[in-house]
A = this chain, B = another copy of it.
Amino acid sequence: MSHTLGLRQAQKQKTRQALLDAALGLLEEQSLSSLGLREVTRAVGVAPTAFYRHFRSIADLGTALVEEALGSLHPMIRTTVSTADDHGQRIKRAIELIAGHVDAYPAHVRFIARERHGGVQPVREAIRDQLARFGQEVKDELAKDRVSVGWSEDDLLMLANLYVDQMLITASLFLEALDAPAEERDRVCQVAERQMRLISIGREHWLD
């Protein structure tokens, strides 16, 4: 089942990706609900009507961006949470992984943080669904840990979602500190690590 994707489809996917990239760029200084279809096509250098060959609407493009930003992140999360080494080290690695991801894909992170509570319903729902998946996956990994014996399913999911939210908060802080001096970035790093540690301590004493 090889699909070598003829010249036709290849070019189509190329402009589709160009539209997504241009939109993501424009969204650094505005929200999705104010992003214009013509604005996007103009940035790509293509006729406004060409937009409809790829997306029904801006909201549709938005949900595609959600998939692009979060879809490929699931394996990353799983391995990070599951890898079992020293507790303190694990937290440090998680924080560094978040920092690295924000460095590599700042626009994607900004988009998710911005549109999670943004003005476009379908996009909010797409993000909510993805984050719920993250929650389930983190829960599954936590369940394997020996610290989790005696925990109810509900409590495991509660903790998993707490971790997921905390990751997003941390990512957002790193984003704000992107152009800040190194000392500021270090400070954010330390605060994030301590918050994560405090939650983990709460986890260890949950059943007392």
A: residues with CB less than 8 A from B are 27, 29-34, 110, 113-114, 116-119, 121, 154-155, 158-159, 161-162, 165, 169, 172, 191, 194-195, 198-206, 208
Which chain B residues border A121 with CB–CB below 8 Å? 29
Which chain B residues border A200 with CB–CB below 8 Å? 202
Find the B residue at minimum CB distance from A112.
B117
Find the B residue at minimum CB distance from A114.
B117
CB contact between A201 and one of B113, B154, B205 (< 8 Å): that residue: B205
Find the B residue at minimum CB distance from A175.
B117
Which chain B residues border A199 with CB–CB below 8 Å? 198-199, 202
Which chain B residues border A116 with CB–CB below 8 Å? 117
Which chain B residues border A30 with CB–CB below 8 Å? 33-34, 119
Q: Could you jot down 19 A-B contacts, CB within 8 Å?
A: A30-B33, A31-B33, A31-B118, A33-B34, A34-B34, A110-B117, A117-B172, A118-B118, A155-B194, A158-B191, A162-B198, A165-B165, A198-B199, A198-B206, A201-B201, A201-B202, A201-B205, A201-B206, A202-B205
CB contact between A33 and one of B33, B198, B202, B206 (< 8 Å): that residue: B33
A113 and B206 CA atoms in complex are apart in Å by 30
Closest CB pairs A-B (n = 5): A202-B202, A34-B34, A31-B119, A31-B31, A30-B119
> In angstroms, how far is the closest chain B Cβ from the Cβ of A66?
15
Which chain B residues border A110 with CB–CB below 8 Å? 117
> In angstroms, how far is the closest chain B Cβ from the Cβ of A58?
10
A208 and B208 CA atoms in complex are apart in Å by 15
A155 and B194 CA atoms in complex are apart in Å by 8
Given A198-B199, A198-B203, A199-B202, are A165 and B158 also a contact pair (CB < 8 Å)?
A: no
Which chain B residues border A32 with CB–CB below 8 Å? 31
